[in-house]
C-alpha cells in the first residue's frame, strides 16, 4: 500500500472522528502485531491526504493499558504516514496547565508497566537502541506552534508529560511525586506510542488537551467526570483549527 499521507492523527479521549475529511475511506488493517484500535480513516483536507485513528476505538472501548500501540503505529506507517500527531487528554500539574489548556509538551517520563514497548519484542527482530533524549520531533513541534499562532489558538510551548498506567486516576501522593520529578502534565497514553514512532523513524509530536487538574493541584475536592468531558469538548474543538493551519488546507 504505502501511498503518501501528509499527516496522521491518533485521537484520544473525546476525539473519535476527525471533522471535515472528504472522500474518506476506511482501512481495516491486520498487522504483524495484531489489530489496531479501529479502522483507519483516510481522507482529504483540501489537497492534503490525512489519516485518522481513534486510539481507544470509535466507541471508546479500549482502556489505556490495553491499547495495541504497536499495531496502531505500524498500521499508520504501513499506510504511508511519515508525520504523526498524538492527541492526548491529560491532567494539569503545573500552574499554567489548567483545564481547557492546549499544550505541546517537549519531554516525557514513563511510569507505565507491563506494556509492549518496542517492535524489538518479537523473536528475530532487529534490536534498535533509539536516541530518545528528545522524545518529540523538534521540527514538527515548531510547525505546530506556528500553525497554532496562524489559527489564533493559544498553546503552551513545552512541558513534561508523565505517562501513567491507568485506567484509574492518580493519588495525590503520586501527583506530588510526579511534580517533584518535573512533570507538568499527566496522562495515560503518551507511552509507548512516542517511542514506537521513533523506532519507525516517524516524525511525532503530541497535542495535549488538559481535561482537569491532577489530584491535589486544583481547588476541587474531587475530580468531576462531567466537568472533564466539558473541558475536553472545549479543548478538542481547537485541534482541527491547528491541523488545518498546519496543512495549509
Q: What's the burial of 60, exposed, middle or buried (CB within 10 Å: 0-12/13-18/19+)? A: middle
Q: Is 74 marked within a binding site?
A: no
Q: Taking the CA atoms of 236, 58, 68 and 231 in sequence, report the sign of the dihedral they define.
A: positive
Q: Is 8 annotated as a binding residue?
A: no
Q: Please give the angle made by the CA atoms of 143, 160 and 10, to the nearest 5 degrees.
A: 55
Cell 482502556 belongs to 63
Q: Is 56 assigned a ligand-binding role in the annotation? A: yes
Three-state SS at 147: helix
**Sequence-separated contacts (24+) of 150-157 with Cβ below 8 Å:** 150/245, 151/238, 151/241, 151/242, 151/244, 151/245, 152/241, 153/102, 153/238, 153/241, 153/242, 154/102, 155/102, 155/103, 155/104, 155/242, 156/96, 156/97, 156/101, 156/102, 156/103, 156/104, 157/104, 157/106
Q: Is 212 annotated as a binding residue?
A: yes
Per the annotation, does 198 bind a ligand?
A: no
67/56 Cα distance (integer angstroms)? 7
| Residue 171 among known ligand-binding residues | no
* Residue numbers belonging to the annotated binding site: 13, 55-56, 188-189, 212-214
* Residue numbers belonging to the annotated binding site for substrate: 188, 212-214
* Residue numbers belonging to the annotated binding site for phosphate: 13, 55-56, 189
Amino acid at each position: 500500500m504505502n501511498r503518501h499521507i501528509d499527516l496522521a492523527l491518533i485521537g484520544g479521549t473525546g476525539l473519535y472522528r476527525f471533522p471535515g475529511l472528504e472522500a474518506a475511506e476506511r482501512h481495516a488493517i491486520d498487522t504483524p502485531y495484531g489489530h489496531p484500535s479501529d479502522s483507519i480513516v483516510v481522507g482529504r483536507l483540501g489537497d492534503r491526504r490525512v489519516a485518522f485513528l481513534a486510539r481507544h476505538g470509535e466507541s471508546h472501548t479500549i482502556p489505556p493499558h490495553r491499547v495495541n500501540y504497536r499495531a496502531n503505529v505500524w498500521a499508520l506507517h504501513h499506510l504511508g504516514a511519515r508525520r504523526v500527531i498524538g492527541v492526548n487528554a491529560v491532567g494539569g500539574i503545573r500552574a499554567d496547565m489548567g483545564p481547557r489548556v492546549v499544550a505541546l509538551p517537549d519531554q516525557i517520563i514513563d511510569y507505565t508497566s507491563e506494556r509492549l514497548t518496542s517492535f524489538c519484542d518479537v523473536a528475530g527482530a532487529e534490536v534498535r537502541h533509539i536516541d530518545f533524549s528528545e522524545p518529540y520531533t523538534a521540527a514538527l513541534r515548531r510547525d505546530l506552534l506556528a500553525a497554532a499562532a496562524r489559527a489564533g489558538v493559544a498553546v503552551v510551548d513545552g512541558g513534561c508529560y508523565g505517562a501513567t498506567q491507568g485506567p484509574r486516576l492518580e493519588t495525590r501522593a503520586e501527583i506530588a511525586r510526579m511534580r517533584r520529578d518535573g512533570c507538568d502534565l499527566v496522562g495515560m497514553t503518551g507511552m509507548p506510542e512516542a517511542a514506537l514512532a521513533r523506532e519507525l523513524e516517524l516524525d511525532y509530536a503530541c497535542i495535549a488537551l488538559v481535561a482537569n487538574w491532577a489530584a491535589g493541584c486544583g481547588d476541587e475536592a474531587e475530580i468531576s467526570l462531567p466537568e472533564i468531558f466539558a473541558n475536553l469538548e472545549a479543548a478538542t474543538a481547537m485541534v482541527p483549527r491547528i491541523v488545518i493551519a498546519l496543512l495549509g488546507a
